[in-house]
Amino acid sequence: MPESLVACYSYMLLKGLYHVHYKGFVHCDMKPENILVFPTRNGSKIHNLKIADFGLAKKIAEKEILIPGPSNFNRCTLLYASPESVSWGIHKPATDIWSLRCIIVEMITGKPLWNSRTSTQNLIYQILFGHPHIPENISVLAKYFLKLCFKKNEHE
């Protein structure tokens, strides 16, 4: 997908997440399957996107029981989970942004960020200790944006 189109769709998703977070919720399961695509009415090639499936969402103020260990990803899809979600079960607005970043990379490359054909244990290791790949064939601004979305913060 061309970078300009990815930027447009990313903006739509960021606006949606801003609204969700502003209302006091965290989606907790951002992934391509939870994004609805609607054609525009004006005939434009750019579709409208909407975030769907709030079944795992939680209130931001909702207390979480933090148990260290890689068994805490029951509230998200592992392939799009942040390190904090996997290691501590933390789900805050920043973890939705991490998931969005994984989606953006997938829009750019056509492939998931992490190797989805590996074992669950290897996938957890990639998420916790790996360095997310930033595509080389994108603008400097896009690379900077993706780096910001992939900040790891275990205590946030």
Instruction: Please tell me the predicted confidence (pLDDT) of residue 155.
Output: 46
CA dihedral 75, 61, 54, 91 (to 10 degrees): -30
* The pLDDT of residue 109 is above 70: yes
Given CATH 1.10.510.10, say whether it is the number of domain 3-149.
yes
Q: Which one is catalytic: 9, 17, 28, 29?
A: 29
Instruction: Please tell me the predicted confidence (pLDDT) of residue 35.
Output: 97
- Any catalytic annotation for residue 29? yes
Instruction: Please tell me the predicted confidence (pLDDT) of residue 67.
Output: 57
Buried-state track 67-86, b at ≥16 Cβ within 10 A, e below 16: eeebebbebbbbbbbbbbbb
- Report the mean per-residue pLDDT for the chain: 85
